[in-house]
Amino acid sequence: MNIAEGASLASTLDKDQDWWRGAVIYQIYPRSFQDSNGDGIGDLRGIVQRLPYIASLGVDAIWISPFFTSPMKDFGYDVSDYCDIDPMFGSLADFDAVVETAHRLGIKVMIDLVLSHTSDQHLWFKESRVDRDNDKADWYVWADPKPDGSPPNNWLSIFGGSAWQWSTQREQYFLHNFLSSQPDLNFHEPAVQDALLDVARFWLHRGVDGFRLDTINFYVHDAELRDNPALPPEKRNDTIAPRVNPYNHQDHLYSKNRPENLAFLRKLRAVMDPFNAAAVGEVGDSLRGLQIIGEYTAGNDLMQMCYAFEFLSGTQPDAAQIATVMTAFDDAAAEGWACWAFSNHDVKRHPTRWNLSPAAQRLFVTMMMCLRGSVCIYQGEELGLPEADVAFDDLQDPYGIEFWPEFKGRDGCRTPMVWEPSNAHGGFSTAPRTWLPVSHEHMHMSVGQQEDDPGALVHHYRRAIAFRAAHVALIKGDHDAVTSKGDIVYFTRSHDGEDIFCAFNLSDSPSEFALPKGNWEPIGSELGGAHVSADGHLHLGPWQPCLAKRAAG
């Protein structure tokens, strides 16, 4: 597929007010995408350079992880100025070039807004911590100690230890759900909400088409600061935090997931609607993620999409689990819309996490492009990149450094993209040293090498994305009951008179199956779809799909 064809596919939803519904979104982690100035760190000009490649994949939008001014304690998720670009990534003019180039290629631009917390270097926090009487004294979550001097309650930080940090200036604790250098904003203060809505307006006026909302369910805390209840061992899991993290020992009823959050989300939606902008929220909760998605995406005045962590877990989903997740989503979020992903910048890459063969990787992306919902794919996923092995001496992620070696952190999924096999750093950078080392295992999987191989995974991703774009039922359609039978999961997607039957054999063994009654025409042969006999009998080989369209009449 050439670049023009990719741009054409990406623009199919352009005139639609619901352009986000069923969209395929490509996540860019800018530090590791393309270095344009030889300093070993990816930047915005590098994104401009590689946008034609992204367009050639046929995606509808990009999501760019944070590039705002930051001390980089958490690599941009600790913002010190929401309305400027960190110099390592370039300038506002460089960002404008990203938007202009993406739009010219038919690609929407979504940016990562981190609204729940700032850096402790943000001017708001510097003022807030001075004393208890300044103009921004209540912009963050401050609380007095208990009589014995200990923290106000038992809330824990995802990055380890108490979620409270002592300030000698105010002689109070401040809340941080992540690093102690990431103080939480106080959403009970109306001026904070107004300031954050102004941030959204700033970027919308600059041309962005939407937002990925980091930790969307963390915005509001319990005003009474009630203790979180303990979580019984049998209910603990490692979906949100690694097993070794005591964060898993609590049910986080009060430190996040508060019902007051809905009022702020409605305000944010009202800001976005005049720009036809969309948002996808990250819902981090191991117990009630789908329920929260249902609450946050219900109706037309909240968020358009959210994603939970069901398919970002360490367990490879089998047919039964996929059916269970999709059914649970329908039950919890009947009016809602999901955004599915298998990999992102926070979890081990899924070919390694699930120990997938090349055939399994192809089948999983084919299936993802057929699920009801929108889709996020993470840079390098289309190349089949496995998790990189990063030595402790090369680690940058404070999360991994804290819990090493039982949890190695997030650096293994954040190593630089590989563009050319001949370059010392895979075409990512001309610097002597890059911020994270390029994986030697990735070098033979570069874009350039795969482009020249018709059987390479990147071409299968293009075909799967194009197949989705060619069928409105797969973009916007409903589905009937998602059902599993042995190793096969199957369903029918329907929209505006088009019915697409989808079945997937999620195993290394062949399976027999029969299509539903009706006149079905096989489609998707380019994706390895199974042959359909005259009587509707199917023989599904290992990791093989069956895709069929109901014939007219």
3-state SS record for 262-310: HHHHHHHHHHHHHHCCEEEEECCCCCCHHHHHHHHHCCCCCCCEEECCC
Q: What is the average pLDDT value for the chain, to the nearest integer?
A: 94
Active site residues: 214, 282
The token duo for 49 is 């350079």
Which residue positions in the chain have pLDDT lower than 70? 1-15, 553
Judged by DSSP in three states, 99 sits in: helix
Place of tokens 């952190």: 409
Do residues 365 and 483 share a domain? no
Let me know if residue 185 belongs to a domain. Answer: no
Write out pLDDT tens, residues 54-78.
Answer: 999 999 999 999 999 999 999 999 9
Let me know if residue 24 belongs to a domain. Answer: yes
Domain C-terminal end among 436, 469, 502: 469
**Which amino acid, residue 525?**
S
Tell me the C-alpha distance between 213 and 161, whole Å.
25
Do residues 484 and 456 share a domain? no
Do residues 381 and 233 share a domain? yes
- Output the CA–CA distances (angstroms, integers) from residue 281 to 306, 309, 337, 339, in the order listed: 4, 12, 11, 9
Do residues 343 and 491 share a domain? no
Provide the angle, in degrees to the nearest 10, between the axes of the packed helices 319-332 and 289-297. 40
Q: What is Dmax (Cα atoms) for the chain?
A: 79
Do residues 337 and 419 share a domain? yes
The token duo for 326 is 């999709």
pLDDT at res. 15: 57
pLDDT at res. 141: 98
Let me know if residue 166 belongs to a domain. Answer: no
Let me know if residue 385 belongs to a domain. Answer: yes
- Output the CA–CA distances (angstroms, integers) from residue 294 to 330, 492, 507, in the order listed: 9, 22, 31
Do residues 326 and 415 share a domain? yes
Domain C-terminal end among 469, 498, 527: 469
Q: Which residues of 538-553 are buried (b: 16+ CB within 10 A; e: fewer)?
A: bebebbbbbbbbbeee
Do residues 395 and 520 share a domain? no
CATH code, domain carrying 505: 2.60.40.1180
Cα 528 to the chain's mean position, in Å?
A: 28
Tell me the C-alpha distance between 250 and 231, whole Å.
5
pLDDT at res. 553: 62
CATH code, domain carrying 229: 3.20.20.80
Say if residue 147 is preceded by a cis peptide, omega within 30 of 0: no
Print the domain residue range for 66. 3-117+190-469
pLDDT at res. 7: 39
Instruction: Tell me whether strands 498-505 and 545-550 are parallel, antiparallel or unpaired.
Output: antiparallel
Do residues 268 and 372 share a domain? yes
Alpha helices in 343-406 (DSSP H): 350-353, 358-368, 398-403
**Which amino acid, residue 117?**
H
What pTM did the predictor assign?
0.95
DSSP state of 418: -
Let me know if residue 371 belongs to a domain. Answer: yes
pLDDT at res. 13: 38
Do residues 420 and 521 share a domain? no
Let me know if residue 250 belongs to a domain. Answer: yes
Let me know if residue 167 belongs to a domain. Answer: no
The token duo for 214 is 């980091």
Give the number of domains in the chain: 2
How many beta carbons lie within 10 A of that of residue 134, not counting itself? 12
pLDDT at res. 286: 84
Domain C-terminal end among 469, 501, 528: 469
Let me know if residue 251 belongs to a domain. Answer: yes
Q: Which is nearest to 372 in space by CA: 505, 262, 460, 471?
A: 471
Do residues 422 and 327 share a domain? yes
Do residues 365 and 499 share a domain? no
Do residues 357 and 403 share a domain? yes
